[in-house]
Each structure stands twice: as structure tokens, then as C-alpha cells.
Amino acid sequence: MTPGHDTARPLLSVEGLTIDLPGVQPGLVEDVTFQVREGHCTALIGESGCGKTLTSMSILGLLPASVRVSAGSVWFDGVDLLTRTPRQLRRVRGGPVGMIFQEPMSSLNPTMTVGDQIAEARRLHLGERRKTALARARELLERVGIPNAARRIGAYPHEMSGGMQQRVMIAAAIACEPRLIIADEPTTALDVTIQAEILALLRDLQRDLDLAVLLVTHDLGVVADFCDDVVVMYAGHIAERTTVDGLFYDPAHPYSSALLAAVPQVGQARSRLTVIPGRVPSAGGLPAGCRFEPRCAHAQSPCGERQPDVSLGDGRRTRCGRVASGELTLQGALRG
Amino acid sequence: MSTRMIIRRLGGGLLVLWLVSILTFLLVHLIPGDPAEVIAGENASQADVERIRTELGLDRPVLTQYVTWLSGVLRGDLGHSLFTGKSVVTSIAESAPPTLVITIMAIVLAVLVGVSAGTVAGLTQGSRVDRLVSTLATLGIAMPSFWLAMVLVSIFSLTNPWLPATGYADLGEGFGTWLSHVILPSTALGLATAAELARHTRGCVADVLTRPYVRTARARGASGAWLVRRHILRNAAIPVVTVLGLQAGRLLGGAIVIEAVFGISGLGTLAVNAVLQRNYPVIQGYVLLCAVVVVLLNLIVDLAYGWINPKVRTA
Ligand SMILES: Nc1ncnc2c1ncn2[C@@H]1O[C@H](COP(=O)(O)OP(=O)(O)OP(=O)(O)O)[C@@H](O)[C@H]1O
Ligand SMILES: [Mg+2]
């Protein structure tokens, strides 16, 4: 856990990202701004439907055809990915940026050997021949902890367990020595014991390869163990942007502290964050003021009318006016 | 596909053929009354009836007849035509080439046209091309093949004298001549199958496009022809192959109608005449041949299926 004022420069910088469902619903994701620093991990947390997947998919232009980015920019290594041509974008996908998805079984091609799927990025990006790329794929399988790699290289996804499949996904994502990994709930679909193994592997790789990671997760234990910076999303925008220490010791948004309260013992409970009463409003039914106000235990009269976005210094921001004005101090998970 | 599985499929095919052989044999005995008299017809002399009776061995016990008949079949002896005395195997061998050529060409055409059109439509859902393909496919499925054949003849043979309207030419008579006789019948026969395949391929491609593994491949930098060939088509092909297997058997039957329209004397003509004349040995030969072809087709489809789908291969 590195403190927030660490000087590593941002590798990925998302600015004012807004995603619409054109003609149906603007603002599925609205004005989202955050950074992922070189060699560091940023967690993207929030309840189901808050826009985490849309945000992470938009970075490499992988949104479904029905939704569209209507504003904002995604700076990666000094260029705005949103202004790249499809061709330029393809060079980034699977090259300097790798992605890992939630369901390893459905995210791997059932008709292709795992070796070919790992080798694919190297053939596409480095122009390697199949044989060379497969030899490298074997090393990668060993690297992600799959025994008997030489034989496993010719296996098909359905011949492997979920944990093995996710290791294959990870091997494929790091095949071209990326600098950034985007992982959308990489362990949610797995058994609890396997989850820990996969996370340990990810952390290991992050240190060894000096990877920056954007980790979408429901698991605050993972955030505590693994991440440096935290982005808390609520109903399509960012409720709070902070560091890991900030989140656990000094949350600056009632939604964050409600999330902490929903997990009694940090580091052990791995339940989904669904224990806060009420539901996340959809983009069509947002309150006029603070989006969390209807569910907030600390809401007072002006909360229903204003939607502030206040800097707290050190790159931290909150959308809670009461916390920003010093009127409200919230309970952290590790305090008292 | 494992050798064990291939052997199992082969065994299944042989079992089907054996059952068909029994049914085919019983064909003669299912005729009510005295088969020899019925086959000979109303105006036949007693001598004719007796000749047919011995020709078919009807005077012996049924089981003996079956064993004799089956051992003949296994040695490639399907008996003789009741009227011309010609060997059934020779008759079939003479009439099979045009039918087989037209059917195979129809399948090739259907796969080429149907799969490509369906793929393009599936990849560009909602586009003008997609709508055009869908409309044409519906038309193609709705149109009876004989009518399509007549339309093709009127356009390409009568209005414009480009292609012959009737008849068949062997490959020995020159590639051009052969092709010019084959194009129209196989097009008429194959278009409905092409339409069916286009519809299925479109649906399968559209379905595969929504699968997470396609998104994963894109996230890896795959695109264009690479993405289509390695990730989309291979997965979309699995259900399409099954449809093709069903269609191939249907095409062989459809060839009878097409032969009639184009005045080609092939297997269809042979079978129709045999039925009209109650020429049982020829009918039996035709039914057996069809069974063998269908069993073979199914075997090929199974093998192709296993080759495309690793889940079947390793099962
Ligand atoms: N293709 C789409 N078309 C229309 N709406 C969509 C689409 N994808 C997502 N949405 C909507 O956008 C909102 C955000 O979805 P998103 O998948 O980003 O949530 P999430 O935070 O990843 O949730 P989860 O934790 O369940 O994965 C949801 O309300 C969802 O209904
Ligand atoms: Mg999601």
C-alpha cells in the first residue's frame, strides 16, 4: 500500500468520461475522472449496475455497439485512446494494455487450444510465427502456475477447471509484456479458495512485471490487500476518489462508509456489496441532487438539491457536500 | 475424433444398413396376394408368372430367400431387371453419374453461396446487405425447385441462348460442355439449400458475435478476417454443419424432380420407371443405394462435426 502522494506518474488517465445509450438514455456513466499510476493498482468499486464494466470497457473501445462514449478522454501513455483510429487502437489492445474478464469459461474460445489463444497476441502484435509464439505460450503457462505446461498447451478450455482457465486468461493478457492490465472482477466467478490463488498470482505478476492494474472488484478485502488507489462509483458517477488508507481510515463519502459497514471484517468476508438498504437508481431515475441521498443515513435538507464535487487535496475528491464542508466526519472501518 | 468414436459411428451406420436391407427385402413380400402375380400384372401369362416366381426365388422359404438375396447384395449382385434382364448394378452405375454430379454440385454451390452470404449478413446485421440476404433467403426457401428450374431455363436458355435447356453431357465430352449442362440443374436444386444455410449461418454468426470470447479476442487485438476466421466462423460452423447434413439427404430426393424438368436420365428416372413397372429388383437396388449414401453422409457430417467441435472430439 503506497500513500497517495507517491510521485509515480499516471499511466492511464480517464477524464470526464461520459457514456450514453444513444436515443434512449444519456449518462449511463457520467463525468468519470481517475488515474492509474505506473506500477500501481487502482480499484474500481461500487454496487452492481454502477457503471464499472462500461467504464473499463470504454478504455480500449470495447463497448457494445449500442452504447457510445459522448464526452471525455482516455489518456494512455500520452495519447488519447478515444481519438485513435481503429487501427491504432488495435495496436494497444493486447499489446501495452491487457484485459482479463470475469467468466473465464465463456471468455475463452471453445474451439481454440489454450496455447493458440495465449500465442495469439504475440502473433498479432509481434508478428511471431505460430511455432515461436507457442513456445513462448508454454513459458507463460508455466509462469502463471499451470503444471505440465508442455502438454496443457494443446488442451481446450473445457478440459480445464475454472481456476486454470483464469490462469490461461492471465497468461494471454500478459503475453506481450503489457504495462497496464484491466481486470473486470477476475475472481467473482471462482470458488473462494481459488479466488485467493488467482489474486496472489496477479499480485505476484504486478510486482515482477511492474504492471499498472485497474481492478474492478466487489471485494473490499482485495482492495485492502492489493490496491493503492480507490475509485468508488455510485449510480454512474464517482462518489469518492481516494487512496486505500483514505478509504479504510478516513472515508469521505457516506456511500464509502456504508460499503465498509456492509463488510464486518475486512480481509475475510468476501460477500457482494448488496447489504445497503435500497437500490442503486438507474440512469433514467436519478435524484436531482446527490445521487446517494435517498439511501444515505446522513442526508440533510440541502443534499437533495446540490451535487458538489470537491477536491480534498492529494488527488482525493468527494461528491458529499457535508463531508467537504467539515460538517460530517465518517466512521472508517479500522477506526474505533 | 477418437478412433473408438469413429468405430462406434461406423458400427451404428452398418446396423442401419442391415435394418434397411431387411425392409428392402421385405418390400416384395409386403405385396398382398401372390407377389409373382401382382408383379407380372393382370395380362401376364402363367408362364410369365412362373418365370418371375423363380427369378425372385419366391418359391423358397423366406429366410432362405433373404440369406441368398443378402449374400448376393454383399457380393455386389442386386439381381436383374424383370423386363430387360439387365443387371441392376449396371443400370444403377449407368444412371448414377448425372444424379451424383448434380447433387454434389448443388451442395458445393449451396455451401459457397449460403455460408458466405449468411456470414456477411450476420457480420453486418441491420445493414442493407443483411436485409437483402434475408429477403432472398426467404424467397429461396419458399420457391419450389421445379418452378425455379423453369424460371432459370426461361432466362438462361430460352430468352438468352446461353445454356442448354435439357440433357446431360459427360465430362468426357469436354469441360465446357459438361459445365454448361450442369449449371442450371444444380443451381435449381441447390438454391433452396443455399437459402436455408444462409439463414442458419446468419443466425449463428450473429449469436457468436455476442459471445464474451469474441470480445476477449478483440481485446487481444484480433480484428477483420483474422477474427472472423479463427473466432467467429469456426464456432458458427458447428450448428451449420448439422443443418447441412440434413439438407444433403433431402437434395438426393430433390434431384428426381430436377431430372424430370431437365430431361436428364439419372437415378430419379430409373427409380420412377421401376416403380411404375413394379420392377422390384431395381427398386430394391435404388433404396439400398440411397440408404448407403445417407449413412455415408451422416458419417461425414459426424466426422466434420468432431473436427470442428473439440468438445465432441474429446468426449
Ligand atoms: N449494452 C448495454 N445496453 C444498455 N444498457 C447497458 C448496457 N450495458 C450496461 N448497461 C447499463 O449500464 C449500467 C452500468 O452497467 P455496468 O455493466 O457497467 O455495471 P457494473 O458496475 O459493471 O455492474 P456489475 O457489478 O453487475 O458488473 C447498468 O445500469 C446497465 O443496465
Ligand atoms: Mg460489471
Nearest 5 degrees, angle CA A50-CA A51-CA A53?
125
Q: Is residue B6 situated within a structural domain?
A: no
The residue of chain B with its CA nearest to that of A56 is B219
pLDDT digit string, tens, across residues B40-76:
777 778 888 888 888 777 778 888 888 988 998 899 8
Q: Min CA distance, B4 vs chain A (Å)? A: 19
Choose one of A24, A52, A54, A107 to mutate for the ligand 1 pocket test, by most ligand atoms within 8 angstroms of C-beta: A54
Contact A292, A281 (CB under 8 A): no
User: Based on the domain organization, do A170 and A181 belong to the same domain?
Assistant: no
On whether the CB atoms of residues A19 and A206 are closer than 8 A, the answer is no
* A52 alpha carbon – ligand 1 mean position (Å): 8
Helix (H/G/I), strand (E/B), else coil: A68: strand
d(CA A113, CA A141): 13
pLDDT at A6 over 90: no
The answer, for A112 touching chain B at a CB cutoff of 8 Å, is yes
From the list B218, B230, B309, which residue is nearest A62 (CB)? B218
Name the amino acid, one letter, at A250.
D
Ligand nearest to the CA of A54: 1
- Closest Cβ opposite residue B221 in set A93, A111, A169: A93
* Ligand 1 centroid to residue A54 C-alpha, Å: 6
B124 part of a folded domain: yes
* Cβ pair A107:B215 closer than 8 A: yes
Please state, in angstroms and rounded to a whole number, the distance separating the CA atoms of residues A296 and B177.
Answer: 84
Grid cell for residue B199: 439463414
Residue A309 is assigned to a structural domain of this protein: no
Q: Would the CB atoms of B235 and A121 count as touching at under 8 Å?
A: no
Give the A:B interface size as CB pairs under 8 Å.
76
Give the model's confidence band at B299: pLDDT under 50 very low, under 70 low, under 90 confident, else very high.
confident
Ligand 2 centre to CA of B3 (Å) is: 44
Task: Determine which residue's CA is closest to atom 30 belonging to ligand 1.
Answer: A49
Task: Tell whether A93 lies on the interface with B, counting CB pairs under 8 A.
Answer: yes
pLDDT in tens, A283-330: 888 988 899 999 998 888 888 888 888 899 888 999 999 999 888 888
Domain co-membership, A24 together with A85: yes
- Whether B240 is covered by a domain: the verdict is no
pLDDT at A179: 96
Same domain assignment for residues A135 and A214: no
| pLDDT at residue B224, rounded to an integer | 93
Is residue A80 scored above 60 in pLDDT?
yes
Measured from the Cα of A63, ligand 1's closest atom is 1
pLDDT number for residue A254: 94
Last residue of a domain, one of A128, A144, A174: A174
Which grid coordinates belong to A231?
A: 475509485
Question: Max alpha carbon distance in chain A (Å)?
Answer: 67
Q: A91 lies in a domain?
A: yes
pLDDT over 50 at A266, yes or no: no
Same domain, A54 and A166: no
B152-203: pLDDT as tens digits: 988 998 888 888 888 888 888 888 888 888 999 999 999 999 999 999 999 9
Q: How many CA atoms lie within 13 A of A241 on its CB side?
A: 20
Here the CATH number for the domain that contains residue B199 is 1.10.3720.10
- For the four alpha carbons of B268, B270, B276 and B278, in that order, the dihedral sign comes to negative
Verify that A170 and A221 share a domain, yes or no.
Answer: no
Whether residues A7 and A133 fall in one domain: no
Distance from Cα A264 to the centre of ligand 2, integer Å: 24
Mean pLDDT computed over B106-135: 94
- Whether residues A107 and B234 touch (CB distance < 8 A) is answered with no
Residue B102 burial (CB < 10 Å; 0-12/13-18/19+)? Answer: buried
Q: What is the pLDDT of residues B213-262, one digit of tens each?
A: 999 999 999 999 999 999 999 999 988 888 888 887 788 888 888 998 89
- For residue A74, being part of any structural domain is answered with yes
pLDDT at A336 over 50: no
pLDDT for res B178? 87
Of A158, A157, A167, A117, which is closest to residue A137 (Cα–Cα)?
A117
* Ligand 1 atom nearest A19 alpha carbon: 12
Is B220 within 8 Å of A93 when comparing Cβ atoms? Answer: yes
Contacts with B219 from chain A: Cβ below 8 Å: 60, 62, 93-94, 98-99, 101
Question: What does the pLDDT read at residue B314?
Answer: 58
CB contact under 8 A, B310 and A110: yes
| A15 shares a domain with A134 | no
Virtual CA dihedral for A286, A287, A292, A295, nearest 10 degrees? Answer: -110
User: Residue A101's closest chain B neighbor by CA?
Assistant: B216
Q: Which of A103, A125, A158 sits opposite B221 (nearest CB)?
A: A125
- Shared-domain flag, residues A28 and A56: yes
Q: Is A169 on the interface with B (CB under 8 A)?
A: yes
Regarding whether A271 and A196 lie in a shared domain, the answer is: yes
Half-sphere exposure of A68 (CA within 13 A, CB side): 8
- The residue whose CA has the least distance to atom 28 of ligand 1 is A49
Question: How much is the average pLDDT of B124-145?
Answer: 92
Residues on chain A touching B308 (C-beta within 8 angstroms): 111
Q: What pLDDT score was predicted for residue A233? A: 96
Query: What's the pLDDT at B186?
Result: 93
Name the closest residue on chain A to residue B211, using Cα atoms: A106
Nearest to A214, CA basis, from A79, A318, A60, A63: A60
Same domain, A195 and A92: yes
Q: Is the pLDDT of residue B29 over 80?
A: no
pLDDT at position A272 is 47
Q: Which of B125, B209, B214, B216 to mutate to test the interface with A (most CBs of A within 10 A)?
A: B216
CA A48 to ligand 2 centroid distance, Å: 7
Full residue range of the structural domain in which residue B152 is found = 95-235+248-267
Nearest of A151, A178, A197, A204 to residue A95 by alpha carbon = A178
Count of the separate structural domains present in chain B = 1
Check: CB of residue A176 under 8 Å from CB of residue A4: no
| A106 closest CB neighbour out of B213, B219, B311 | B213
The answer to whether residue B221 sits within a structural domain is yes
Say if the Cβ atoms of B219 and A103 lie within 8 Å. no
In a domain, B101, yes or no: yes
A107 to chain B: nearest residue by CA?
B213
pLDDT confidence of residue A223: 93
Last residue of a domain, one of A149, A174, A199: A174
Q: B13-27 pLDDT, tens per residue?
A: 899 999 999 998 888
**Is A75's Cβ below 8 Å from some Cβ in B?**
no
A333 in a structural domain? no
Query: Of the candidates A140, A157, A174, which is a domain's last residue?
Result: A174
Q: Nearest chain A residue to B231 by CA: give it.
A: A109
Residue B22 lies in a domain: no
Range from A129-133, B84-88, B162-166 that averages highest in pLDDT: A129-133
Residues A86 and A185 in one domain: yes
Q: Give the distance from CA B271 to its chain's centroid.
A: 15
Question: What are A241-260's pLDDT values in tens digits?
Answer: 999 999 999 999 999 999 98
- C-alpha dihedral over B264, B266, B268, B271, to 10 degrees? 130
Is B185 inside any structural domain? Answer: yes
Residue B189: inside a domain, yes or no? Answer: yes
Question: pLDDT tens for residues A10-27?
Answer: 999 999 999 999 989 999
Number of domains in chain A: 2
- Write out the three cell numbers for B27: 418390400
Q: Which residues of B touch A (CB under 8 A)?
A: 211-213, 215-223, 226, 230-231, 234-235, 238, 308-311, 314
Q: How confident is the model at residue A264 (pLDDT cuts 50, 70, 90)?
A: low
Residue A312 lies in a domain: no
Judgement on whether residues A84 and A192 belong to the same structural domain of the protein: yes
Measured from CB, residues less than 6 Å from any atom of ligand 1 are A 21, 28, 46, 48-54, 64, 66-67, 282
- pLDDT of A151 > 70? The answer is yes
- A93, B216: Cβ pair inside 8 Å? no
pLDDT (average), residues B5-16:
87
**SS3 (DSSP) at B179:** helix
Q: Which domain holds residue A6?
A: 1-96+176-287
Task: List alpha helices for chain A, DSSP H.
Answer: 52-59, 86-92, 104-107, 114-126, 130-143, 149-152, 162-173, 192-209, 220-226, 244-249, 254-262, 321-324
Tell me what ipTM this predicted complex has.
0.90
Reported residue count of chain A is: 336
Question: How many residues in chain B?
Answer: 315
Domain with residue A77: its CATH number is: 3.40.50.300
pLDDT at A271 over 60: no
The predicted pLDDT at position A273 comes to 46
